[in-house]
Chain A
Amino acid sequence: MLTDIIVIGSITYALKAKNALREAGIRARVRKLDGSNRRGCSYGLELPAGQLLTVAAILRPLNIGYEMYNE
């Protein structure tokens, strides 16, 4: 299945985002992402493809910042 991955950073925010998405019916998986970005280790979410607009609408009010991850 195609997936999108977003980088969140801290595990607390990744889990908070996962729970918020689950309440909205979106199943996400927390992943530790490799440290190749400029900041080092990060956690992120693996999401079903095509849900990014909905995800943005859910995470914005919670002040959960993220960026796209390119594997």
Chain B
Amino acid sequence: MIYLDNAATSYPKPECVTEQVVRVITECGGNPGRSGHRLSLAASEIVFRTRSAVAKHIGAKSEENIIFTQNATYAINTILRAKVKAGSHVLLSDMEHNSVWRPIWRLAQDGLITYSLFSHEGDIRKNIQEKLTRKTDILICTHISNVNGFVFPLEEIAFFCRARGIYMIVDASQSIGHRAVTVDKIDCDALCAPGHKGLYGIQGSGFFYVREAQGLKDVFQGGSGAHSLSPEMPDYLPDRFEAGTLSTPAIASLGAGIAWVEAQGVENIENRERSFSRRLHEYLSDLPNVILYSKPESGIVAFNIAGVPADEVAERLDGFGICVRGGYHCSPLAHRSLGTPEGGLVRISAGAFNTMGEAEVTLYRLLSLSKEYAAQGYKKK
């Protein structure tokens, strides 16, 4: 089996991640930050150590600026709802995932905010400038598109936002662990990420970073383990945003995943994934009935075989033991931008475990599919 759906979730997980999850469940099973007994304190230590590891990994100034969530979607929803105010105008790129678009759409439907999309093509600063209104106070942008791997110039966008007092939120779902992601370098106000993709934690792990707590209201309310006599959530980080019991096993897996990624070297992982992607791009661009929608900027390869539904190609590849994802990838905005709103496309997404040998096997299977469909008369219009 060749797993090439790492943009959805990474697989396999490193052995140290599995071992850590089992260890934490069996040995540190208390509720972190709630009780004073050894099992609760042991769980608290695990959570704190992971918080430190995340902070260090993304260059955050302190552990408390990291807030754990169950995935990037919850992180994005939380920071958006914490920051928006009545009358806010939010800018988002035309390549955003539904994890960004849907919460913004809902807030707009409820009459709280307005929003505009800016194009990822051409001069992005100019595109943003054209969509600015006097009420624009938040911009949210993915780092790397989950559909075609397009890389946004975040530092340039952040510079633009900083100069205009716009709060900038980054969705690092497809970049974290795949390349260096440093919040100080980007100079963003908030960054959201899953733990189960490029950082090799298990599903149920995610987090967001915020530069400061000021101006952010709590979104979920509940037990936080401290200052419990007050009806209000604590006003300090991370407690303001961490209502209810945290998932210690998921958080522990994230800590182990980060340690593994750092031992491999993020740059080495990036180079490996890009080599994989480059090889596929070189080959697929020569096939007459293959349409490419990506460039070898990341580990993502986006394509269609002319006239063939993306899900059919994905299913055929699954028949060969190759796991890829066809369809819309929860990103209708991106498909509209790329001109693939009907049927979507096929996405191959490499991870740290993929080898060049697997790239060759994949290419061999794609070549045979391409020939088979060409023989049936499927061709580019």
**Residues of A bordering B, CB below 8 Å:** 9-13, 15-16, 30-32, 35, 38-43
Partner of B226, one of A15, A16, A38, A43: A43
B230 touches A39 (CB 8 A): yes
Partner of A15, one of B36, B40, B48, B224: B48
A41 to B234 CA separation, bound complex (whole angstroms)? 12
Q: Contacts A40-B228, A40-B230 known; list 6 others, CB within 8 Å.
A: A9-B227, A9-B236, A10-B225, A12-B48, A12-B51, A32-B35
Point out the residues of chain A lying under 8 angstroms from B238, CB to CB. Answer: 12
CB<8 Å pairs between A and B, sample of 6:
A10-B236, A11-B225, A12-B51, A13-B64, A40-B228, A42-B226
A40 touches B226 (CB 8 A): yes
B36 touches A31 (CB 8 A): yes
Partner of A9, one of B32, B35, B36, B226: B226
Q: Does B358 contact A (CB under 8 A)?
A: no
Identity of the chain A residue whose Cβ is nearest the Cβ of B239 in the assembled complex? A10
Point out the residues of chain B lying under 8 angstroms from A13, CB to CB. Answer: 64, 236
Point out the residues of chain A lying under 8 angstroms from B35, CB to CB. Answer: 32
B230 touches A30 (CB 8 A): no
Q: Does B44 contact A (CB under 8 A)?
A: yes
Point out the residues of chain B lying under 8 angstroms from A41, CB to CB. Answer: 225-228
Partner of A10, one of B62, B226, B230: B226
Point out the residues of chain A lying under 8 angstroms from B225, CB to CB. Answer: 10-11, 41, 43
**Residues of B bordering A, CB below 8 Å:** 32-33, 35-36, 40-41, 44-45, 48, 51, 62-64, 224-230, 234, 236, 238-239
B226 touches A35 (CB 8 A): no
A28 to B51 CA separation, bound complex (whole angstroms)? 20
A16 touches B36 (CB 8 A): no
A16 to B51 CA separation, bound complex (whole angstroms)? 10
A43 to B229 CA separation, bound complex (whole angstroms)? 14
Point out the residues of chain A lying under 8 angstroms from B48, CB to CB. Answer: 11-12, 15-16
A11 to B31 CA separation, bound complex (whole angstroms)? 12
A39 touches B41 (CB 8 A): no
Interface of A is mostly: mixed
Point out the residues of chain B lying under 8 angstroms from A10, CB to CB. Answer: 33, 224-226, 234, 236, 239
A35 touches B228 (CB 8 A): yes
Point out the residues of chain A lying under 8 angstroms from B33, CB to CB. Answer: 10-12, 43
Given A13-B64, A15-B48, A32-B36, are A39 and B229 also a contact pair (CB < 8 Å)?
A: yes
Identity of the chain A residue whose Cβ is nearest the Cβ of B238 in the assembled complex? A12
A24 to B51 CA separation, bound complex (whole angstroms)? 21
B36 touches A39 (CB 8 A): no
A12 touches B227 (CB 8 A): no
Given A16-B64, A32-B35, A32-B36, are A11 and B44 also a contact pair (CB < 8 Å)?
A: yes
A59 to chain B, nearest CB (A): 13
Point out the residues of chain B lying under 8 angstroms from A35, CB to CB. Answer: 228-229
Point out the residues of chain B lying under 8 angstroms from A42, CB to CB. Answer: 226-227
Given A10-B33, A10-B239, A41-B225, are A15 and B230 also a contact pair (CB < 8 Å)?
A: no
Partner of A30, one of B41, B228, B239: B41
Point out the residues of chain B lying under 8 angstroms from A12, CB to CB. Answer: 33, 48, 51, 63-64, 238-239
A31 to chain B, nearest CB (A): 6
B227 touches A39 (CB 8 A): yes
B233 to chain A, nearest CB (A): 12
Point out the residues of chain A lying under 8 angstroms from B41, CB to CB. Answer: 30
A33 to B239 CA separation, bound complex (whole angstroms)? 18
Interface centre among B44, B64, B226, B234, by most chain A C-beta atoms within 10 angstroms, is B226
A32 to B36 CA separation, bound complex (whole angstroms)? 5
B261 to chain A, nearest CB (A): 23
The 9 closest A-B pairs by CB, nearest first: A32-B36, A40-B228, A40-B229, A11-B33, A15-B48, A41-B228, A39-B227, A10-B226, A9-B226
